[in-house]
Amino acid sequence: MPSDCLWHESTPPPPTGGGQIPERADVAVVGGGYTGLAAARALARAGVSVAVLEKESLGAGASTRNGGFVLPGFQLDMAVLVQRLGLDRSRALYQDSLASIDFLKALIGAECIDCDFDQGGHITVAESPRQYRALAASSHLLNTSFGAATTLLGERETRHAVGSPRYCGGLLDPLGARVHPARLLSGLGHAAAIAGATLVTDTIATRFRRRGSRTVVESSRGRIEVDQLILATNGYSGPFHPGLRRRIVPIGSHIVATAPLSNSLAAEILPGGRVVSDSRNLLHYFRISPDRRLVFGGRASFMRASPARLRAILQRDMTDIFPQLSNSPIEFAWSGNVGFTRDHMPHAGRVDGILCAGGYCGHGVAMATYLGDRLGQHVASGVPLPAVAALDFPLIPLYNGHPWFLPLAGGWYRFRDWLSQ
């Protein structure tokens, strides 16, 4: 899709990052999204010299192109997580997700970032009785074993919360929130710059090598010698670090936004203004923007498709869910990469000796910011990394940067969605 992102239209620009690469610094961070900028802010605030290298503009990837959902939990269902790791480890991981939201709220307040943060809740909706039973089981597990306060919604309650005849029930998690993602990124970039981080944009990190106890990072604009290197490239990881690239698959997520809706139509579609996603493997997610547009996203295609085709798929799906929008034109359409891992969990720690964080699987707004901050604090003062750092970060078999298997995975997930009806 064309680079026609709604969030870019109403956002003060982040720092330009046009500075020269210093010859030396304590830390280099590759990647100027939420993770990289949060790490740089934490390091600079601790008095550590840090330079961020970003191949485009700050936040050019998923950090300014996502739907602006702030969600507790993970992409992986908690019941599956408990089955894999046991209840105690799963509780520690779930607490990481809650800590990430608390951290994000505190950061926005401390830095006075104007980003429309609102913790009005997140609803997961079900299209079939089978999906609804799965939501009921999830609600029971979260409330009884994880201390959550989710609410199971019946068909009538769901219809009051989401103005579509398509859903037979839903699950409300009051901790879910929404944010203007690009304004958040811009504010975080300015906070890192004010703290003293050097931000260098339009710079491609090409390779790194050890020189004694230090690391030399080479780039398209020169080289820098550092004590520590942090990788924060997530769904945009390239050949710079092959080990990380083999662990994170970039999957395209596509979004459209309508023309501004009338007050009455916006209230009919989402009267509570919450963020919503469905229970499908090939999910849809939607919300109302600050200027009353419906922002509607999903995995429109796992195969190569033209921008017009992707836009048409999402518009068709949107009007299937909300027939009342059949006459509402699409004014914005854009795409971005979501970083997925083999185990569908985020990761932080060392890969082949290099610190990194990524693989947020669509739950990255809070978690990426939180893990970036914790990486920075870990380097600056030895603060322990969160529980996700103890997870094994698995390689993806037969994968070396080209996700040849995505069309097959898309077909499998469509089949599973069909079975769940």
3-state per-residue secondary structure call for 75-92: CCCHHHHHHHHCHHHHHH
3-state class of 146 per DSSP? coil
pLDDT on residue 413: 56
Residues of the chain with pLDDT under 70: 1-3, 18-19, 300-305, 404-421
Structure tokens at 163: 């103005």
pLDDT on residue 12: 83
pLDDT on residue 256: 96
Reference 363, options 338, 330, 399; nearest CA is: 338
pLDDT on residue 376: 98
3-state class of 284 per DSSP? strand
pLDDT on residue 3: 47
Q: How many percent of the chain have pLDDT more than 90?
A: 83
pLDDT on residue 356: 97
Using CB atoms within 10 Å of the CB of residue 402, give its burial: 0 to 12 exposed, 13 to 18 middle, 19+ buried: exposed
Measure the N-to-C terminal CA separation of the chain; round to a whole number of Å: 30
- The predicted-structure confidence for 411-421, as pLDDT tens digits, reads as follows 655 646 555 66
Distance between CA 54 and CA 210 in Å, rounded? 21
Ramachandran region, residue 270 (left: φ > 0; alpha: ψ -120 to 50; beta: rest): beta
The pTM score is: 0.94
pLDDT on residue 309: 85
